[in-house]
Amino acid sequence: MPRALSELETEAFRERMCEAAARIYVEEGPAAVTMRRLAGELGVGTMTPYRYFDNKEDIITAVRTRGLNRCSEALERALDSPGDGRTRSRAVRDAYIQFARHNVATYRLMFEFPQTRRDDPAYRVAFERMWATIAAHVEVMIAEGVLEADAPILGHQIWAALHGAVMLEIAGMLPEGYDAASLHTRTAGTLFDAAKPRT
């Protein structure tokens, strides 16, 4: 009889499954992600994945949920760093880019493919958390009086520009001499200038 896994071991195995599913999904397409394929990738019996997830859809939803939460955690830590709002906003940007660079498959799966169980409670909580983190650094600058803006809207404008820069970097399509951070700095600067309080 197989030994029962501890909570930490169970979570570690779930994470391995999610990482494998994200990589296969992005590299080979949705049809390539099957429970049998995942079992083979992880070197376990064909029925083992079903002990952790009911089906492929559950795994993909878990990948997105975990990705959103991990990205939000990174952004929240960055926002808690010292400095004024603009400095902390740059820290948030850098944390976002670092997350995307270190988790390319998960990052792409979070945004590139629409299929997911959006009614899943854990996914909804993670989604709302991400929305809140996107507006938070703008709210700091509004509170400091350096910006006048609708925080969620400006936050999403900045996010859209950052996501675009990150995806272009991942695809190797940025202009020579630019990375996601340097390109986004120029775009965000324009957005911030437009949102400066009028005297």
Residue 40: CATH number of its domain: 1.10.357.10
pLDDT of residue 7: 84
pLDDT of residue 2: 55
- Residues 22, 102 contacting (CB under 8 angstroms): no
pLDDT of residue 1: 46
What is the DSSP secondary structure assignment for residue 171, as one 8-state letter?
A: T
Look-up of token digits 């929305």: 131
Q: Is 199 part of any domain? A: no
Q: Is 52 part of any domain? A: yes
Range of the domain at 152: 7-194
pLDDT of residue 115: 63
- Residues 142, 73 contacting (CB under 8 angstroms): no
What averages of pLDDT result for each successive group of 10 residues across the chain (199 residues)? 72 92 90 92 92 90 94 97 96 97 93 75 94 94 96 95 96 94 94 91
**CA distances in angstroms from 24 to 19, 21, 33, 102, 138, listed in the order given:** 9, 5, 6, 16, 36
Report the domain count for the chain. Answer: 1
pLDDT of residue 162: 97
pTM of whole model > 0.85? yes
Q: Is 1 part of any domain? A: no
Q: Can you say whether residue 137 is alpha, beta or left, with left for phi > 0 and alpha for psi between -120 and 50 degrees?
A: alpha
Q: Is 137 part of any domain? A: yes
Q: Is 2 part of any domain? A: no
Q: Is 104 part of any domain? A: yes
pLDDT of residue 67: 95
